[in-house]
Amino acid sequence: MKKVLIINGPNINMLGIREPEIYGTQTFSELIEYISEEAAKNNMKPLFFQSNSEGEIITEIQNAYGKVDGIVINPGAYAHTSIAIADALKAVAIPTVEVHLTDTGKREPYRKHSYISEACIAVVMGKGIKGYAKALSILE
């Protein structure tokens, strides 16, 4: 059974509360439940981590080295600002899929570029929480 680290960055824990017209009404707990169900279908064991802190995310990525088979990361706004998270992903060289609930390419200009993408094998965006299922299937 593959172990997959699911990393959710800043403000993802506020799903259902945060701008529901943009991010939907499903809660963070519902997201975790959905990912768990989808992972089971793919014979995967999800390990969950959420932080609003860039440093904690980097440490979690580094700690995953040699322990997981893949990473699904929704870096939130850090996608557009964090070279350090991208560098951590490159350092561990674990196959990683970047996920965004919305299509960041159709949003504010500052959201159009992701530093994280260059460290990932794929990017899934604009599919809401179903994007996580797509990311897991890419890591099969």
In the set 34, 78, 80, 100, the catalytic residue is 100
- Rounded Cα distance between 39 and 82, Å, is 27
**Pairing mode of beta strands 2-8, 70-74:** parallel
Nearest in space to 43 (alpha carbons), one of 129, 140, 131 = 140
The residue from 23, 78, 115, 132 that is catalytic is 23
CA distance 112 to 37: 31
**DSSP 8-state code for residue 117:** G
Q: Is 80 one of the catalytic residues?
A: no
Q: Which residues are catalytic?
A: 23, 100
